[in-house]
């Protein structure tokens, strides 16, 4: 089977056989396919789509391209949460320790930020010494000691996705339901989970801009999880504005620590509420509580009594990080950055935000990556001072940008100022959880 024949078949809109899909994924993993051949086939898949059998086979082949975690020895339900990506989307840092505090084992394999979206690994690396490159044995040992580990994909877990995700990102091919499903689910299935909760973002900062497309993705993710024997649920949540108060790596860790320390302010509340809701769904689906309401109460209690913070601290110690951030979160903000206010150009209500532009502005300032090979400045970020629905007067501060150097300041200020839509009428508010599927 030659690559060019498989590429031409999908280019012409035909269905690929299971063997052809396996040949492609093997070729990507063992590098016998050149990048331009893999990119050509992925582009053909992006344009012509995959039916549900092809999507299932792509997920299976990608999963089988590497090793899976063996968590048999851990006597607790294995559960995880995965988000499709957003701006200020930091709930993993609370969910993993909170779920562990409730009795779940969470082998959380996460990614790095790319483009306008942030990544859990970059956030964690703003804690001095925190190691996210763990071997398979280290992931298993960390989960067995403190209930959760947060690590990057190892070289051996789903190697095909590492390659394909980079090609898709470089060539503008992220926003495809079958490709996102195969990418996310192959990684999550490699964790040998009992339960998976998916946070499917919708809105101006999400890959899926409309509720309709988010629903389509959520249904496909849930169907795939169930087909592989994992109890799977998807929650469609709002990404029409950045989640919580902060966007940017150390700022987001600071926000999560404030929440786990019981010191959250009003703008951080959506982060806390969504973390509780998603963890409660993991707890309920695992059978640790008999109803979702009981699961929510357990999560609220474990967050309020400091159990989640304790778990987080234990994990930071095990993964080599400086645990003093847990008692002094302000130390995360010590870097010398210039704080500049973004002001309202008119009076009225905040009717909308271009959340993607806010994420792009942070990335342009060095807080994120334009290319997978870029390094990240953890101190760069954005702080929201108002939310959708807030009433503002001309000249009021809408937010602050934190930058190390001012070289792109004018462009960034313009992007952030333009990101706010101010209108005379009060917009109707929408709940953070839009729908649940599964
Ligand atoms: N996150 C992933 O891991 N893969 C995608 O394709 C999109 C978001």
Ligand 1 contact via 111 beta carbon (within 6 Å): yes
Active site residues: 82, 161, 168, 183, 187
pLDDT tens readout for residues 189-239: 999 999 999 999 999 999 899 999 999 999 999 999 999 999 999 999 999
Ligand 1 contact via 186 beta carbon (within 6 Å): no
Residue 430: predicted pLDDT: 86
Q: Is pLDDT above 90 for 117?
A: no
Radius of gyration (C-alpha) of the chain in whole angstroms? 21
- Cα–Cα distance, 62 to 202 (Å, whole number): 26
Most confident of 163-177, 277-291, 333-347: 277-291
CA-proximal residue: ligand 1, atom 2 (nearest)? 184
- Measured from the Cα of 180, ligand 1's closest atom is 6
Average pLDDT, the chain: 95
Ligand 1 contact via 174 beta carbon (within 6 Å): yes
Q: Which residues of 176-214 are buried (b: 16+ CB within 10 A; e: fewer)?
A: bbbbbbbbbbbbbbbbebbbbbbbbbbbbbbbbbebebb
| Chain centre distance of CA 297 | 25
Contacts of 365 (CB under 8 A, 6+ apart): 377, 380, 401, 403, 404, 408, 412
The helix (run of H) or strand (run of E) holding residue 325 is helix 324-327
CA of 395 to the centre of ligand 1 (A): 39
Q: Are 39 and 161 in contact (CB under 8 A)?
A: no
What is the DSSP secondary-structure string of 254-285?
HHHHHHHTT---GGGHHHHHHHHHHHHHHHHH
Q: What is the pTM assigned to this prediction?
A: 0.95
Q: Are 331 and 325 in contact (CB under 8 A)?
A: yes
Residue 374: predicted pLDDT: 82
- What are the C-alpha distances in Å from 97 to residues 105, 156, 312? 10, 25, 5
pLDDT tens readout for residues 79-106: 999 999 999 999 999 999 999 999 999 9
The first and second tokens of residue 301, run together, are: 């209690």
Ligand 1 contact via 85 beta carbon (within 6 Å): yes
Proportion of the chain above pLDDT 90, given as a percent:
89
pLDDT band at 113 (very low <50, low <70, confident <90, very high): confident
Ligand 1 contact via 184 beta carbon (within 6 Å): yes
Contacts of 352 (CB under 8 A, 6+ apart): 204, 240, 388, 420, 421, 427
CA-proximal residue: ligand 1, atom 1 (nearest)? 84
Q: Which residues of 294-313 are buried (b: 16+ CB within 10 A; e: fewer)?
A: ebbebbbebbeeebbbbbbb
CA of 310 to the centre of ligand 1 (A): 30
Ligand 1 contact via 83 beta carbon (within 6 Å): no
| Chain centre distance of CA 317 | 23
Residue 373: predicted pLDDT: 78
Ligand 1 contact via 152 beta carbon (within 6 Å): no
The helix (run of H) or strand (run of E) holding residue 392 is strand 391-392
> CB burial class (10 A; 0-12, 13-18, 19+) of residue 399?
buried
- Tell me the best of 63, 165, 187 to mutate to test the pocket of ligand 1, counting ligand atoms within 8 Å of each CB and taking the most: 165
CA-proximal residue: ligand 1, atom 7 (nearest)? 180
- Measured from the Cα of 184, ligand 1's closest atom is 3
Ranges of beta strands (E only) in 231-362 are 231-238, 246-247, 338-343, 348-353
Residue 166: predicted pLDDT: 86
């Amino acid at each position: 089977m030659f690559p060019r024949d498989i590429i031409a078949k999908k280019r012409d809109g035909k269905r690929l056989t299971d063997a052809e899909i396996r040949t492609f994924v093997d070729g990507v993993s063992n590098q016998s396919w050149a990048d331009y051949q893999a990119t050509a086939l992925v582009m053909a898949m992006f344009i012509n789509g995959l039916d549900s059998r092809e999507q299932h086979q792509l997920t299976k082949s990608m999963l089988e391209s590497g090793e899976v975690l063996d968590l048999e020895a851990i006597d607790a339900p294995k559960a995880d949460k995965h988000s499709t990506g957003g701006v200020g989307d930091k709930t993993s840092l609370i969910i993993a320790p909170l779920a562990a505090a409730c009795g779940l084992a969470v082998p959380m394999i996460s990614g790095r930020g790319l483009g306008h979206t942030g990544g859990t690994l970059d956030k964690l690396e703003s804690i001095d010494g925190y190691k996210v490159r763990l071997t398979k044995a280290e992931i298993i040992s960390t989960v067995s000691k403190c209930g959760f580990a947060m690590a990057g994909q190892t070289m051996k877990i789903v190697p095909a996705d590492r390659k394909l995700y980079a090609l898709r990102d470089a060539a503008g091919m992220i926003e495809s339901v079958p490709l996102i499903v195969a990418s996310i689910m192959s990684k999550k299935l490699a964790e040998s989970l009992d339960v998976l909760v998916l946070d499917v973002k919708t809105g101006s900062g999400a890959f899926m801009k409309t509720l309709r497309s988010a629903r389509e993705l959520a249904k496909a993710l849930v169907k795939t999880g169930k087909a592989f024997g994992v109890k799977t649920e998807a929650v469609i949540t709002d990404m029409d504005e950045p989640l919580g108060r902060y966007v940017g790596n150390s700022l987001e860790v600071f926000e999560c620590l404030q929440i786990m320390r019981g010191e959250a302010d009003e703008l951080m509340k959506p982060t806390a509420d969504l973390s509780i809701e998603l963890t409660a769904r993991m707890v309920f689906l695992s059978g640790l509580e008999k109803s979702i309401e009981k699961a929510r109460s357990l999560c609220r209690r474990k967050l309020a009594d400091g159990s989640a913070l304790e778990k987080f601290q234990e994990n930071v110690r095990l993964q080599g990080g400086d645990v003093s951030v847990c008692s002094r979160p302000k130390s995360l903000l010590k870097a010398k950055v210039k704080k500049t206010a973004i002001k309202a150009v008119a009076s009225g209500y905040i009717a909308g935000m271009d959340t993607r532009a806010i994420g792009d502005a942070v990335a342009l300032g060095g807080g994120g990556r334009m290319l997978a090979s870029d390094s990240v400045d953890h101190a760069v970020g954005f702080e929201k001072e108002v939310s959708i629905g807030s009433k503002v007067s001309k000249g009021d501060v809408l937010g602050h940008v934190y930058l190390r150097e001012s070289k792109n300041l004018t462009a960034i200020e313009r992007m952030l100022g333009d990101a706010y839509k101010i209108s005379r009428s009060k917009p109707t508010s929408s709940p953070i959880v839009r729908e649940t599927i599964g």
